[in-house]
Structures are given as C-alpha cells and as structure tokens.
A and B are shown apart, each in its own frame.
Chain A
Amino acid sequence: MQQTIKIGFSPLTDSAPLIVAKEQGYFAEQGLQVALFKEVSWASIRDKLVFGEFDAAHMLAPMLMSTSLGAAGSIKKPLVSGYSFGLNGNAVSVSNALFEAMLTFESELIACPDKTAGVLNKVVKARKSASQTKLRFAVVFPFSMHYYLLNHWLQTGGIQANKDIEILVVPPSRVVQALEEGLIDGYCVGEPWNTHAVKIGVGVTLIAGYEIWNNAPEKVLAVTKEWAESHVLEHKKLIWALYQASAWIDDEKNRTALFEMLSRPEYIGAPISSIENAYSGQVSHPLTEVSRSIPNFSLPFKFYANFPWQSHAKWILQQMIELGQVDADMKLDEIAHSVYLTNLYREVMQEHGVIVPDFDTKSEGLHSEPWSKGPFQLGEDRFL
C-alpha cells in the first residue's frame, strides 16, 4: 500500500511549490501521495520532523544547520536538503510611527533603501539621548536568514543588533498583528507579510531582502538524514515534483491560478492583493501611487534558484559563528556538505535530462549583474 508522505509548511509565498505540486498533480504524477500540514511555529515544524510526525518540511535554511548541530540547546538531529524553495522573498518593514520618525531625518527615504539603516541609526541615537526605550525588531526565528539579513542591514547603518536595538522572535503569520499592537517597531519577514502590512495600513516596507543580499537563499525542503537514506526513491520523486512545480510557478500565464490557490485559508490565507507582489516584484508603499519595482523580489525558479549551493550553506554557517550562536571552531565545508545534498539534486535533474551547474560552489558578493560561468547563467550576488 502506498504510504502517505506528510509534509509541514509555514504559510508563506515560498511554500508555493508544495501547494502547486499537490494541486497541479505533480506529486500524483510521481505516484506520491502527499498530505500537507500548515504550522504556525517553526519550532513545531522542526520537532514534528525530528520525531517523525512529518516526513519532510518547508524549513528555514539556517534551521537545517542549527538542528543538525544541536545549536544552543535545541534538539539535535542530522537533517539534509536536496532542494531549495527559491531565492529572496523577505523584506524589512517598520511601523508607521517609526517611519514618520525616520522621515524627519530623510524625507526621500522611500526612494533610497540603501540609506534606510543609516537613517534608522539617527532615530536610535535620538531615542537614546531622550532616554527612550530601545526599538524592538522581530525576526521569525533565531536561526533564520531574516536574522542574518536584518543584522547585515543594521550593520550598514552602524547599528548593533541586541545592543542598540532589541531583537525578538515573532512567527511570520503574527508579525503584522504584533506591529499593529505596538509590541514591535519593525521586522524582517517573508512575503506576503510585508505587503500585507502596507495594504492594511499598519506599516511601511523599507528595504527588500534582495537589496540586502542579491538572490539570497531562504527555505529548503528538509528531511532527516535517516529518512533520506531509507527513502531514496521517494526523496528523489519529491525533488522532481517540486522542481516542476517551481517551473510552473515561474510561468506568468499560471499566475492567476497560483494566486487563487495560495490565498485559500488552508494554505496562506491572505488576500490575493497581498500575495501578488512577491511575484510581480512590486514593493508597495502607502504614500505613493506607484510601488517600487524589484523584479527579483522573490525568485522561485530563475538562476538555478532551486539548486542547493554549498556557498549558501557556508555563508549561513559563518553568520551563526559571527553572531555567537555556535562554536567558531567547526569545519564549515564538512558541515555544509553534510546538510546540503547538492549531488542528489544534480542526480535527480540529470535523470530527467535537466542540465544544471557541474560545480557546487559559486562566488558570493562579487556580482552586481547577472553573470555566466560556462553555459550557466547565474544571478547577481552583491551585498548591500
């Protein structure tokens, strides 16, 4: 009898490949019977995967490493991934009140995202000299690209996370409410929760994750090492079904159907008007008619977005060290290699005649324009 594969996901636009693979029949085509489970908390997704309640999960890429390492007292279990859910998709948004305060220092703020952290620092300093409380920013988990991108952005403005501003954790689907209630002053979260805050008049998006690091990794398909070893065939079929779903998502003629699917309450449960920006590359702003356009706001497929790059894994591990989340004396290459199954992904693609890069690592931070390595067209990878 065919066993059902249980997969947990968090309601975010980058969970779309799972939803599409199920709704469009890509799982079924592979003979896979898949049940999707929507979860609110990342810790809950992790635990259910670790304890076998889920067979696979939509997971924050850094959580794959932190769980494999048992970092900071968290549950330790070797996890692996052979598929990335795409690139980018995050942004930093702040409350209307904080945005007003920032405007007093720089009125053209919305047109120059690169200045935002510097301007924020002016607010931080003004608050300090007026003996006001520190600003509070939320990320979705301590081990997340959101934390690392937020930290990088803050540093460009001379702000030290946890010292100059407080950082706390709020799950993705709850940040808008937390911003509205004044519990936090800003956050870094994935779509649709930045656009949604703007659309309902609760916040302003300052900078997109893409502008902090062009084409950064984000979520991965996580399975336990154990499961990967005992379910090689199913794992490969999952990867192939998700790859096809990613290609379907990238095709503009499917967008109307995609938005309708994602907005359903059992999936993302947000209005279509909040979901479409991630794909149309628009960053909404409440004060201007026209949104800012960032074509690569969220990249589901282009530029080998589903390829598990060793250089992405290593960058994440380096951030963990820099922020003191893990011991500095670990072997980056070895760990990156054990969690990101680049070879498995390549193998699956080759079996289906898809040609993917024959190298596992690419340079990061050197290109501000798309570039080519051999026949392979790669995306820009510049840092702010």
Chain B
Amino acid sequence: MIGDMDLLKVLLVDSDSARSALLSQALQDQGYKVIARVKPGANLLATIAKHRPDLVVIDTESPDRDMLESMSLLNQHNPMPVVMFVDEDNDVVLREAIRSGVSGYVARNTDPKRVRSIMQVAIARFREYQALKDELYQTKNELEKGKLLQKAKSLLMKHKKVSEDEAHQAIQKLSMDQNKSVAEVAENIISVLEIGI
C-alpha cells in the first residue's frame, strides 16, 4: 500500500515562503512531487481543482484549514488527506493528533526522515476513514431508495385502488419499459401523484 506512493502529488499551503521552500525540498527528497506552493488566502479551491493534488500540506495557523477540513464533509468535493505542520515539536500532541483524526500533523522542526512516516500514517488513516464513509453513504442511499419505493407504492394504492403487489409490479414494469431505476420511477410517481392531490 505504500509502494504506489512514490509519485504522490503534494500541494503546499504556507505563508512563509522560506519555510515553504525548505519543506518543499524535504518532501522532494522523500520522494513526493510538490506540484504547487501557494500562500493562504489565494483562491484555494480553484487551485486545488486545477492541480488535483493527492495530499495537501498546510500551516496549522492558516485560515484555509477550516475550508480544507470541511471539504469531505459538506459536499462530495474530492476529499483528500490534509497534513498540517505545527509549531512545537511535542510528541504527545503529534501522536494524539494523528491517532484521533483524518489528518496528520508534522512539527515544524521534525527530522525530515520522520516526515515520510507521518504522511504515510495520515494517508492510511484517510483511506480507512473514506472507506467507512463510503460504506455509510451507500447504506443510507439504499435506505432512502427503500423509503421512496414504499411511498410510491402507497400513493399508487390510494389513487389507483390497487393492491400492494400490483403497485409493486407496475413500478417494476415502468422501470423496465422506461429504462430507469426503480428509485427514479418511484420519484416520478411521487411527484405526479402528490401534485395531483
């Protein structure tokens, strides 16, 4: 799982260009490809969309942090792991931060050799979490579909005076005839019959 990471593309967000240059060098030495170095406050979302990094490394003090942290939460914007660097080299803080979240933390004066392992942990964490989230999303989606179907069926039963089985068959037939998913057909039925009330 680590083997394919040699070409990972990193986007660096830092207001201090000297530090950013140093970190950029350290990352490149560790086999990462730093595709862009940007200052916070620039149009971060557009920059990310343009460069499509695999990983974002950001200064903890940056206001853009909130924006990045929320990206996977609010919409389905291509979520990505975010690694932050903090001022103090406090091992307890680092370990706890990495253990507790999606993102990893790097202390500013971390030994460059450790940078790589911290990034790997961050990415592994992120993937784990993403897999969990996808699963949850799918389950939720299926539940939603089930609810739609149930609602469409009861509307049909009420308006067309048919049995539940007949309603079910009618929906399946429509789905096949119109080459649409059952959920889509259910949605159409609901919108037509509910407006008719």
Contact = CB atoms under 8 A, between A and B. Distances in A.
Interface stretch (A70-78, A94-102, A195-203): A70-78
A148 interface: no
A171 B63 contact: yes
B75 A44 contact: no
Contacts of A168: 45, 67, 70-71, 74-75, 77
Interface in B79-133: 90, 93, 96-97, 100-102, 129, 133
B41 interface: yes
A40 B90 CA distance: 22
Contacts of A70: 100
DSSP majority for the B interface?
helix
A278 B90 CA distance: 41
A57 to B, nearest CB: 15
Contacts of B97: 47, 51, 75
B131 to A, nearest CB: 12
Contact of B101 (A73, A171, A177): A73
A174 interface: yes
A285 B25 CA distance: 50
A5 interface: no
Given A51-B93, A162-B75, A40 B101 contact: no
A41 interface: yes
A167 B64 CA distance: 15
A30 B137 CA distance: 50
A325 interface: yes
A121 to B, nearest CB: 16
Interface residues of B, number: 29
Interface in B38-71: 41, 43, 45-46, 60-67, 69-71
B2 interface: no
B100 A41 contact: no
B74 A41 contact: no
A138 B4 CA distance: 36
Interface string A351-380: 000000000000000000000000000000
A213 interface: no
30 contacts: A40-B63, A41-B66, A43-B66, A43-B69, A44-B65, A47-B97, A51-B93, A51-B96, A51-B97, A70-B100, A72-B73, A73-B102, A73-B133, A74-B101, A75-B100, A141-B66, A141-B70, A142-B69, A162-B75, A167-B74, A168-B45, A168-B75, A169-B67, A169-B69, A170-B66, A171-B63, A171-B66, A171-B67, A181-B43, A325-B73
Interface of B: 41, 43, 45-46, 60-67, 69-71, 73-75, 77, 90, 93, 96-97, 100-102, 129, 133, 140
Given A43-B66, A142-B69, A170-B66, 5 more contacts: A43-B69, A51-B97, A72-B73, A73-B102, A75-B97
Interface of A: 40-44, 47, 51, 70, 72-77, 140-142, 162, 166-171, 173-174, 177, 181, 183, 324-325
